[in-house]
Amino acid sequence: MTEKIEWYKEVLELEPNSKIFFPLARLLSEVQRIDEALDILEQGLERHPEFLEARLFFIELLYKTERRTVCTAQIAKLSKMFAAYAGFWQAWGASLNIAGDAPDTAFALRFLSAWFTNSTISIHDVLDRGLASLLDEKQAQNSQQSVVKHSDMPPFAEPMSNPTESEPVEEQFSLRTRSMADVLAEQGDIQGALDIYHELLAGASNFGESEDLQHRITTLSVLLANAPAADLSESLTAQPESSSGKDKLISMLEALAERVEARAQS
């Protein structure tokens, strides 16, 4: 290391304008000969003020040795240049964002670029607004998830009537109606019975019941088609044309209701 330092010194003595002063100063710094390194850097920067890397190293050594006054003067020379090229810091931050391995550093560089462009920006404002935006976004996401969760729920279903209460009544009514149809068929009112059977077939709830009603309708239809004309005419004269099985059923039910009411009053 010492031989290399001496060789650099000899070259620098022979060629004072050489930029070899910079590697010489670095070697001197490595062996803790800081004062010599500072002298070499100061002399070299007087000859090469555009040597940016050498000046940065000079400022670094001045700061480490707590030579604040000289350090501040050197920083002033660079700060104007760095502030004039805010796009450099922005481009640096963008390149780190693309790499994705230093998001905090990328943010710091972007903030530095923004500050060079508008010095009224403060870290407090950036953090405060950023936090508020983050909280609003989080709240919006929670609201959206809540809406999706509720939309997935099945619609409110109206309470169903108790089958134990409704089904027996309906079944009892169906049996009574069919009994009336059977009575009409036995009395010769085939058309009235057919009307009731057709209504029952339309509301049949199972295959067995439907098949039985269909069989009954077919049988009565054949009987109606084969009935003698005299019987048919007698049947027609006995009942008005507008009457039907349903009307007969209503009449019979009304008659039964009147009888029940009469008995209750007696």
3-state per-residue secondary structure call for 77-93: HHHHHHHHCHHHHHHHH
Amino acid identity for residue 118 in this structure? N
Residue 57 to residue 62: CA distance in whole angstroms: 9
User: Which residues are CB-contacts of 61 (< 8 A; sequence separation ≥ 6)?
Assistant: 29, 34, 37, 38, 41
Look at residue 246 in the predicted model and tell me its pLDDT. 59
Which residue from 186, 200, 180 is spatially nearest to 254, judged by alpha carbons? 180
pTM: 0.48
245, 196 in Cβ contact below 8 A?
A: yes
41, 54 in Cβ contact below 8 A?
A: yes
CA distances 168 to 18, 165, 196, Å, are 114, 6, 20
130, 110 in Cβ contact below 8 A?
A: no
**Pure H helices in 152-189:** 163-186
Q: pLDDT digit of tens for each residue in the chain (266 aa)?
A: 788 999 989 999 999 999 999 999 999 999 999 999 999 999 999 999 999 999 999 999 999 999 999 999 999 989 988 888 889 999 999 998 888 878 889 889 888 888 888 777 777 778 878 778 878 787 777 777 666 665 555 554 544 545 444 445 445 455 557 777 777 777 777 888 788 878 888 877 777 777 788 878 888 887 777 765 445 444 444 444 444 555 666 776 676 667 656 666 66
11, 27 in Cβ contact below 8 A?
A: no
Q: What ranges do the domains of the chain cover?
A: 2-82, 85-126, 166-258
93, 80 in Cβ contact below 8 A?
A: no
Residue 266 to residue 263: CA distance in whole angstroms: 5
Residue 184 to residue 250: CA distance in whole angstroms: 13
248, 192 in Cβ contact below 8 A?
A: yes
28, 40 in Cβ contact below 8 A?
A: yes
What does residue 160 show for φ and ψ, rounded to 5 degrees? -80, 145
213, 197 in Cβ contact below 8 A?
A: yes
Q: How many residues does the chain have?
A: 266
Look at residue 232 in the predicted model and tell me its pLDDT. 46
159, 220 in Cβ contact below 8 A?
A: no
Q: Domain 2-82 - what CATH class?
A: mainly alpha
